Amino acid sequence: MELRHLRYFIAVAEELHFSKAAERLHISQPPLSQQIQQLEVELGVKLFHRKTKRQVQLTEAGKVFLQEAYQLLAQLETAVALTQRAGRGKTGQIRIGFTSLVIYDLLPLILRQFREQFLEVELVLLELTTSQQEQALRDSRIDVGFAHPPLEDDTLSYKCIHRETLMVALSSTHSLAQQEYISVRSLLNEPLIMFPRYLAPGLYDRIMSLFQQGNFSPNISQEAIQMQTIIGLVSAGMGVAIAPSSLQNLQRSGVAYRPILDKVPVIETAVIWQQNSLTPILQNFLQISANCCSQLN
């Protein structure tokens, strides 16, 4: 049985007239009659009572088959529509890795716009360091990531989508908070709150390069894993921190952010993926990411 048999049968069942059904199907009447006869032979039942050579009535078996044929075609149309939507990246799942830095401005904007356009795509979010994202892409545990170059794996595809500078975060009651700009040398005797290097080697090294420019090593008094934890410790007066400018969006009370007087390295955020794993959903996500970042930059 082929799909055309169902369509031919439905046309005859609705018209109850072979000539009218043939006209509706844009075929001649003899081939239509032959197709219906083949269908009846295959099913082993009569589907129509022939009142005349052209006019017919449905048998009881024909009535049952008509309802089932309607359902089969409806299911087929649904399957085709779902397949086409999946092929266009409008349904399915995408797994996204991200560092904590991107949740303060970049990622929420991208996720919001993506969900508005692709409601049927499931978003799975995993907070991972840059190196963890690289490994997760190699292991196919995520489809795309938001990380901070330089990358260790040069086989990954990536595109820089956002750049920001470093700032000093300090207690709003700190004497340096009265200054419009803060020089790195003025932090010589300040306790510094940092994250361990393994979490983000690239960002860590850029921060340390500031102190190298000032020809001194910082007094790292406290380490914390999460950026919000670091800022929380700053608000408690436990020390100062060097943080990307996007951290200002955290809006933690008791914390002041001041630009750095010296030459400051740029912190890049890149979207990273495996080129050989590019899917329609991922292509849509990359396009949304690029559009959103053009609004921010």
pLDDT digits (tens, 9 = 90+) for 277-291: 889 999 999 999 988
* Cα–Cα separations (whole angstroms), residue 112 to 117, 245, 273: 9, 22, 20
The CA distance from 42 to 17, in Å, is 22
249: left (phi over 0), alpha (psi -120 to 50) or beta: alpha
Q: Note the pLDDT of residue 214.
A: 86
- As to burial, measured by CB atoms within 10 angstroms (0-12 exposed, 13-18 middle, 19+ buried), residue 232 is middle
What percentage of the chain exceeds 70 in pLDDT? 98
User: What residues are paired with 194 via a beta bridge?
Assistant: 223
Predicted model pTM: 0.70
The CA distance from 90 to 292, in Å, is 19
Confidence band for 221, pLDDT divided at 50, 70 and 90: very high
Lowest mean pLDDT of 52-61, 65-74, 119-128, 137-146, name the range: 52-61
**Whether residue 295 has pLDDT greater than 70:** no
The CA distance from 138 to 154, in Å, is 12
Q: Note the pLDDT of residue 104.
A: 82
Q: Which whole number is the average pLDDT over 75-79?
A: 81
Q: Which residues of 56-75 are buried (b: 16+ CB within 10 A; e: fewer)?
A: bebeeebeebbeebeeeeee
* Chain segment 35-59, per-residue pLDDT in tens: 889 988 888 999 998 877 678 899 9
Residues 225 and 214 sit within 8 Å (Cβ to Cβ): no
Q: Note the pLDDT of residue 54.
A: 72
What domains does the chain contain, in order, with CATH numbers?
3-87 (1.10.10.10), 93-162+269-296 (3.40.190.10), 166-265 (3.40.190.10)
Q: Note the pLDDT of residue 82.
A: 73
Confidence band for 292, pLDDT divided at 50, 70 and 90: confident
**Phi, psi angles (nearest 5°) of residue 50:** -85, 105
Confidence band for 174, pLDDT divided at 50, 70 and 90: very high
Confidence band for 297, pLDDT divided at 50, 70 and 90: low
Q: Note the pLDDT of residue 255.
A: 95
Token digits for 137?
């892409």
